[in-house]
Every structure is written in C-alpha cells, then in structure tokens.
Copies of this chain bind each other. A is one copy, B any other.
Amino acid sequence: MTQSLTLHKDLRQNHRKLTRARQAVLAIVTDAQRHLTPAEIYRKAKIKYPHLGLTTVYRTLDLLAELGYIQRVHAVEGCHSYAPTAQTHGHHLVCATCGRAEEFTDCDLESLIQSLQVRTGFEINVHMLELMGRCPDCRAPARARKRKTPRGKA
C-alpha cells in the first residue's frame, strides 16, 4: 500500500512502470516470514496474479533488489533467496530446520573490522553475517522425536 506508492515514485524516477506483476511479487516477499526462492515467490504470487510468468519474477526480483525493496539472502542452502528489506536491516538468524528467519541489527563488529583493516590494509565496507541454528519451535519436538541425521563430515 504505502510501499506501493513509494515504489511507484521510485520507478517513475527511472522511467519505469508500476505493474501488477511487480506489485504481486513485492507483496509476496514483503509479507513472507522467511526468505523465499524465486520459484516459491513465483508460485505464491501466481495465486494473486495468475497471469504472472516466471521470467518476470526473476526480472522483478533483480529490479526490487536494485531499488532496495528486497534483499538477496545467502544462507548455506538456498543461495538465491530473497527477503524484504525491512526484515534485513541487519543480519539473519536462520533456523536450519524450518527456514524461519529472525533478523537483528546489533552486530557490533566495529572493533573487529577496525583491527582487521589495520592488520590487512584492506578497506572494509561490506559485511555479511548469518547465524544458523534451530528455532525454539524446532528445538522443542526434537527432544521427543528422533534426532535428524547429522549429515556431518565424519
């Protein structure tokens, strides 16, 4: 709604149009509780707007990410998922079992970055921090059920 208005303005500034496809895609990503893959977004958005094509989803995700409305999420699995920007002001805490993601902003890496800059001579300007584990919901039944196969290296 309000977001659509802002988007409309942002698009106009670049001589671009606010289409139903773009609204549908943005709505899906914005309302999602967790990051979604392009295919998932396509499936969900197609319900709102059945005429939608997968190609357009890819193009729209690129566009929205460029404009800063959504963000690419890099998790261990699902390298190319997307999450609304609001949800990603900072970093992710992703549940390895159900994919639910919490975000947090306080990452306090300043001192680390400072010392690394001095030590390495790099100029550091981006950082990506992703934490993974199990959310409360997935931890609870885990005690009762059999544990998931560790699929570990050993």
Interface residues of A (CB under 8 A from B): 14, 62, 65-68, 72, 74-76, 79-80, 93, 95-96, 102, 104, 106-109, 111-113, 116, 119-136, 139, 152-154
Q: Is the CB of A62 within 8 A of B153?
A: yes
Q: Is the interface of A mostly helix, strand, loop or mixed?
A: mixed
- A139 with B123: CB separation less than 8 A: yes
Whether A122 touches B104, Cβ cut-off 8 Å, given contacts A66-B152, A128-B128, A130-B128, is no
- Inter-chain CA distance A29–B116, complex, in Å, is 25
Name A95's closest neighbour in chain B (CB-CB): B122
Number of copies: 2
In the assembled complex, 11 residue pairs joining A and B whose CB atoms fall closer than 8 Å, in A order, are: A65-B153, A66-B153, A76-B126, A79-B79, A79-B80, A93-B120, A108-B112, A122-B135, A123-B133, A126-B131, A128-B130
- Nearest residue (CB) in B for A126 is B132
Bound-state Cα–Cα, A136 to B108, Å: 24
Whether the pair B122, A102 counts as a contact (CB closer than 8 A) is yes
| Residue pair B102, A106 in contact (C-beta under 8 Å) | no
Q: Is the CB of B129 within 8 A of A102?
A: no
CB closest residue in chain B, given A129: B129
A104 and B131 contacting across the interface, CB-CB below 8 Å: no
| B104 & A116 in contact (Cβ 8 Å cutoff) | yes
Among B67, B119, B123, B154, the residue within 8 A (CB) of A14 is B154
